[in-house]
Amino acid sequence: MHDRICPVCCGTEREVTLDCPSDCVYLQQARHNEKPRSIDQVDKELLFLAVDIPERFIYEREPLILGLSFGVAKAARADRSINDRDAIGALTNLAKSYQTLVDSGLVYESATASLPQQAIIAELRSMVEEYRKIEQQNLGYASLRDSEVLRALVFMVRIALGRNNGRPKSRAYLDFLFRQFPEQKSAVVGPDEGSRIIVP
């Protein structure tokens, strides 16, 4: 708002009608003190409960998960209007597409609600292709299966829902990603380039 506001407005309108800057000390303090959302407050359909994610998968495909997370952060950095709802919507949309592909073999793309979601989905697809290309270069073949991409996306949806505070303009999940990924060119590179994500 580029002006002072009263504490009541700050408390009630924060990330609801006010698009709070991430570096606001009052926003940071509020996030630190607020209780996490209860699982009962989350639409069960968004959790993809039928998709099992073994702990071993998270360890083995950590580079994929980090690469996809970087893709979300990259898209959000490029467009300040993107918020957690856009990120969760894009992740959910793409996860549903992969679920259809895994379950039936059909390539199905549901219509995305917004241009920001389309930008995130395009970045995520690019990261999956980059991951497969690096696997091909380093291993001689691409081992990544569509079912593993689905698991990675569902894992990210669950993390995003856990980090998000439920307010319409919230960027709590995105701010979490920004802290994990300081600005850089790419998160997926070959082993000689010293990246956070290295494909064995």
Classify residue 134 by burial, with Cβ atoms within 10 Å: 0-12, 13-18, 19+. buried
Nearest partner of 68 among 139, 131, 117, judged by Cα: 131
Together in a domain, 145 and 95 = yes
Same domain flag for 21 and 47? no
Domain that holds residue 74: 43-198
| Statement to judge: residues 113 and 51 lie in one domain | yes
Contact between 188 and 127 under an 8 Å Cβ cutoff? The reply is yes
What does the DSSP 8-state code read for residue 142?
-
Q: What is the pLDDT of residue 189?
A: 47
pTM of the model: 0.82
130 with 184, same domain? Answer: yes
Same domain, 15 and 109: no
Q: How many CA atoms lie within 13 A of 91 on its CB side?
A: 31
Q: CA-based diameter of the chain, in Å?
A: 61
- Residue 133 CA from chain centroid, whole number: 22
- Look at the chain and count its residues: 200
Residue 50 carries which side chain, given as an amino acid letter? A
Residue-wise pLDDT tens for the chain (200 aa)?
677 888 888 888 877 888 878 788 888 888 777 776 666 666 777 788 889 999 999 999 999 999 999 999 999 999 989 999 999 999 999 999 999 999 887 776 666 668 899 999 999 999 999 999 998 888 888 889 999 999 999 999 999 998 888 888 889 999 999 999 887 655 554 444 444 444 43
- Angle between the N-to-C axes of helices 172-180 and 62-78, in degrees from 0 to 180, rounded to the nearest 10: 120
pLDDT per residue as tens digits for the range 145-158? 999 999 999 999 99
Same domain? 10 vs 28: yes
Q: How far apart are CA 4 and CA 144, in angstroms?
A: 51
Whether the CA torsion 161, 167, 173, 174 is positive or negative: it is positive
Same domain, 80 and 172: yes
Number of independent structural domains in the chain: 2
Q: Are residues 115 and 21 in the same domain?
A: no
